[in-house]
Each structure stands twice: as C-alpha cells, then as structure tokens.
Structure 1
C-alpha cells in the first residue's frame, strides 16, 4: 500500500473523542438530574452542537444536602491530547438568586491576560462551552419540571499539573486547563484544531500590542529565536509547525509590523522553493531545486547529481561543505524571505533566521 494511502487509511480509522466542553456539559447535566430527582445516574445522554443523543458514562456521583457533583472521564479517542483520562467534574448547587451561574473550580484555569475569548479574571471556559453547559443544565431543569436556579462549578482534579503541558501558561491562563471545544467532538490530529491554536496565540499577541511576531517551525527553532530576541514577550513566539501558510495569512490579517520566520534547513528549503505548507504529505524536500541552487554556487555536474540523489536537505549541506562550496544557507534564507513576502503580497516586512540543529545561526534573509 502506498504511504499516502496508508496515511489516509489510518486517518479514516482513527477513533474520535470528546472535548472538555462535552464532558463538562455531560457532568453538569448528570449532576442536575441527580440534584432534582435524588437518583444517581450511571449514564447521561446529551446533544452536542454537531451530534445528537451522545451518551456519556458517569464516573463519579457525590450527593450532599444541597448539591451534587458528577464526573466524566475525558476520552480524546486516538488524538494525543494531554487532557485524555482526566476527570471533568461539575458540582450543581441550588441558589436563591435567579438564573444559572457558571464558575470554575480547582483545576480550571483563570484568565490573567487580555486578548482571549474570555475576559480577564474569568474561568477559562470558552464562550461556546459556556453556552453548551448552561443550555444543557437549563434543558435538564425544564424537562424535570424544576423551576429553580442553580450554580454550576466545573473542576478538573489534576488539571493544574496537566496545564503545564499546554500553551495555557504562555497565554496567561493560570491554575488549570481550559474548557474548550465548539463541536464537542475531538477529531484526531485535526488540522483545524492546530490552526485554531495558532490564531489564538497570534490574536493575543496583537491584542497586547506586540508589533513583531516570530513564527517558528518547531520547539528548537523557537528556543533559538527567543535567544535572538530576548526583548520580545513569550507570546510573540508562535509555533506554526508545517502551517506556515496559515500563520503568514493571519499575520497579514492582524496587521503586524514585522514577521520573523525561524527554522532549519529542511523546512526553510521548502519555503525557499515556494512551498508554504511544509507537511510531508505536500511533498518532501525538492532536491532538484537544491541541485539548481548548488549550480548557482559553483557545483559541477557530478556534485549536482549527488545532490539530486541526497537523502535530506542536511545531507545536501554536508555534500556542499565537503566540496568547500559556501552560500547555500544564505541563498535559502533570502529566497525564503522573498517567497514568504510574495505569499502575503508584501503586506508585512519579513525576515528569516536559519539555524543548525545546535542553535548556531547560519544565515538571515530580509525583505
């Protein structure tokens, strides 16, 4: 089976999961049901924004005099989600004042910086999850004929520790994870989810008056760029991975004044060749392009042929160094800057940092 067919088969057969918003809604509805009826439930069935009648098993059901706490285990399916396996709990308590109030408890983060969908000081429960939870509880109360008001408190045991593995600390969300998800469904290895995180980080940088953002292809190139620009705040550095095309478009949309691309020779050689989406599914390193560059730099026909049959862009670097031919990295950095600038119609000044794997800056390009 061809590699691209295997990848498609694996993606088609990956198991979907449920978002923290779906789990929180299910837990809140189960707690509401038990609070009204006095009867514990082993499962609860709710409607999600994109799917009806989804049933969740209830892990915990703790009854007290005026409140009930229920918990649902977060199942992310086959997605490598760090919140997988956490218990999302909801305590529902009677209150005298009218309405349904939603709060964040232990393990749910609180927002400390502006620029996010949730105001500063509020629990990190995004707008759609907030509506899902409140609507679910309201429907449960109505269906059971309970004309009373409640307070719902979402908590996540272990959430504060797990949050350190997310981008929450960088975004200024402290104390726990966020309750996220607009559909209720986790699609494994979702491109849309990754791109959404890129947009959130860039939007936050723009909201906090950051004029210069650095798009990095990975963790190492981000670390190296942070050393290059120590004056920039942490949230000015955004890992876009293979989605440079999307990141660049958003920098234009958000009207930044300066954009830096930080990466190594493999990804940046693709950008220099005009490939802004650098995932392997869109093609590997263009060795023909690198062979043509080598000719510009003085490579003979024999070396050119060796480059066309090289294993990686790094292999090309080694071949040129052995032949004592310089200039590859400088050419690629400049071409990457020029191609990126053309991609966004020169809307934002672009510069490129090209590193080796140990963090040595090999070349810069500027447009």
Structure 2
C-alpha cells in the first residue's frame, strides 16, 4: 500500500493508508436530508430532489429522494442510506421523515415511527420515553428546519416522525435491545460522515503518528478516543497537534507500539465507558468487540466506599454512564477509580517501558469525570 495525505475523523492531516474505500453517510445525515425535503415540500408544495444539507464540519452533500408523499397537513420524504464501504448494518436502509406542522411556540418535536427505537432505561444521553435520535442529529434537524422556515416563511414549529424500513429487525444486530432501546435502531452520527477504516489502516496510522511525534522531538503524546477527548487533552496539557494520536478504539495499538518506541509520557484520554473497558483489560474498545464490565465497576465503587445498596445498583446499571451518575450522587469517585485502573492496565501492557502514564476520563459533554496521574492521587 502507498501512503497518502488525508484527513482523519478528528480533522487533522495524518498519514493514512490509501485503501480506496468510499465514505458514506450516517443515519443522522440521512434523516436530516429527508426532514429538509419534507419540510420544504410542506411549505412550498415541491420536494427538492436532490436535497442538499450542511454537515457539522461544513460539507454540503446532496441526497436523492427514494420516495415522497404530500397530503394536507403532512409531508414525507425518504432517503436510502449509503454507508460507503463501511460494514454498517444500516447500509441500504430507507430512512423516512414525516413532518407535520405544530402550533406556534411548539418548537421541534421528535417522534419515533416504525423501525426507530425508543429509550426505555436510564443512563443514555436521552430521557426515558424519547425517540433514540442522538443529540447531534437532533441539532442538525433543528438547524435545517429553521433554515427552511426562514427561507419560505414557516414558523419552524413541527413534529418530525422518523422511521426506518425494517429497523426493528436491523436493531437485533445491534446492542440496542440490551441497552433498553426498543422498537428499532438509533439515529446516530456526530459528523454526518461514515469513514470506513480497516483495522490495519487505522493501526498503521497510529504507528506513523508516534513516529512523527518522536521525529519532531515530542516527549509527551496523547492517545485519544475521539475529537472531544482530544480537545480535553490539549486543554489539560497544552500539547501540539503532532503530539496527538487518533487512537479511536485501538488502545492496545498505541500501548504496544509505544512499548517498542517509548516517549517520556503518554496521556490516555477518552469517554468513561470506553476507558472502563481498558480498566478491565480490554485493548479494543469498540462496542461490537468489548463491553462495559458492570461487575468491575461495582467492585471499584465498593473500593471507593459504596455501600451494598449502591454496589448492587452499579452492578445492575444499564450503562456505564448510569453507574457513574449513581456514584457521583453518593460521593463515590468512580471516575477516578476507573482512571486509576485503566492506568494500571496500561502500565502492564507497557511492561516496564520507561513511559509515565496518566489517564483522563470524560463524559459525553467533555467534562473531566476522572483522572489518574503518575505523580500521585487523582486530581482535577
């Protein structure tokens, strides 16, 4: 394989293997396109086809409509999801948006139609009873509704009912049922784009990132699971761009390569749930290949002073986030305990390599919820 300059999901230029894989679109991007087309038709009587939307990072893709319906008081448009060359269970699924007007002042209301799940348990970033439409896709749809309203004289007060053909069947191949998301799939995505990386290409990019940092004389690098944790690592440590490693889910790839090519200090930064997997000894943090160990979290909570009632609540929590929230409410520093355990596992993988390690756990909003530092006890 040859190497090419390209953009990673976090927006940095990095050396990545040229695989020829096509990018695709998230369910959130497809839902936004369908919503935009439907609301435009509701106000003008005509469906734009293709319909163009603006993604969070400024890209403006066009989407062809698979079908459309316009009647008194409602408009429906549908887009077939193209996940590119990513092995995505929802590739080829038809994502539908039905838009209905609401009284002025109602805002944008989301409904789960057939094939879109509903949240039934606490611990997710959405309240119980809400459609499983994640925060970024919701924001994208709100923004596009506002733009269409401003252009064509609407109020922007609408109900958006999202549905996915065969979504309930597709959801059986996801973690949704176990998480208490029932009735279908989730509408997901943070950038709108599905970037299909093979494991070998991503791991190669991690190795090249370490090489670049060492060649630049960097003695402190950070392996981050995503763009939010990367921003936190930069804010905490003031690291330059070439010291940042787009680790993704491949914690093991970072640790094993740095074991052979040491730097003075390594920061591991990521979401609480992902780093709880590292604390349990998992080196691949992807949701399809490792799970949050609630028993481990319960044991750590007990070490941190949790009574038996809280320990059982943590062990039975629906998600890592719920466990963290329960402990925080009772003054048990579960985030720090997970960070410390993740640090110990990292040191074990490093096998005595001369690398100081610190760990930063964050929540979905980017707030630090746990730290472990080589200088001593966790501190914020």
Counterpart for residue 44 of structure 1: 51
What secondary structure sits across from 1:254 in the alignment?
helix
What SS class does the counterpart of residue 273 from structure 2 fall into?
A: helix
Please, which of 117, 121, 128 is the counterpart of residue 120 of structure 1? 128
CA distance 1:26–1:257, change in 2 (3 Å): closer
Query: Using a 3 Å threshold, how does the CA distance of structure 1 residues 103 and 195 change in structure 2: closer, same or farther?
Result: farther
Unaligned runs of 5+ in 2: 6-14, 203-224, 227-246, 252-269, 299-311, 321-332, 360-370, 374-380
Change (3 A) 1:226 1:117: closer
Q: State the TM-score, normalizing by the size of structure 2.
A: 0.55
CA RMSD of aligned residues (A): 4.5
Q: Go from structure 1 to structure 2 and tell me whether the alpha carbon gap of 1:271 and 1:256 turns closer, same or farther (over 3 Å shift).
A: closer
2:277 matched to 1:214?
A: no
Residue of structure 2 equivalent to 1:59: 66
In our comparison, the structure showing a higher alpha carbon Rg is 1
Shift of 1:8: 4.2
Distance 1:215 1:30, change over 3 A: farther
Q: 2:190 pairs with 182, 185, 195, which one?
A: 182
What is the number of residues matched between the two proteins? 258
Kindly tell me: are residues 52 and 118 of structure 1, through their superposed partners in 2, closer, same or farther at Cα, counting changes over 3 Å?
same
1:128-182: CA deviations, max 9, x gaps?
1111001101211211122463211111111111112222223322222111112
Instruction: List alignment gaps of at least 5 residues for structure 1.
Output: 207-211, 238-251, 262-267, 275-334, 349-367
Match of 1:89 among 85, 92, 96: 96
Shift of residue 127, structure 1, vs aligned partner: 1.3
CA 1:107 to 1:25, structure 2 compared with 1: closer, same or farther past 3 Å?
A: same
Q: CA deviation at 1:255?
A: 2.7
CA offsets, 1:192-240, max 9 Å, x none? 579489966717989xxxxx973435799969x9999999558679xxx
Alpha-carbon distance between aligned partners in 2 of 1:221 and 1:86, rounded to the nearest angstrom? 23
Q: Is the 8 A contact 1:162 1:177 kept in 2?
A: yes
**1:72 counterpart = 2:143:** no
Deviation at residue 42 of structure 1 after TM alignment = 2.5
| Pair 1:46–1:196, CA change in 2 (3 A) | farther
Q: Secondary structure at the match of 1:132?
A: helix
> Matched residue of 2:60: which SS?
strand
* 2:273 alignment partner, one of 181, 186, 202: 202
Say which SS state the counterpart of residue 25 (structure 1) adopts: helix
Aligned partners of 1:204, 1:116: CA distance in 2, in Å? 17
Aligned to 1:353: none
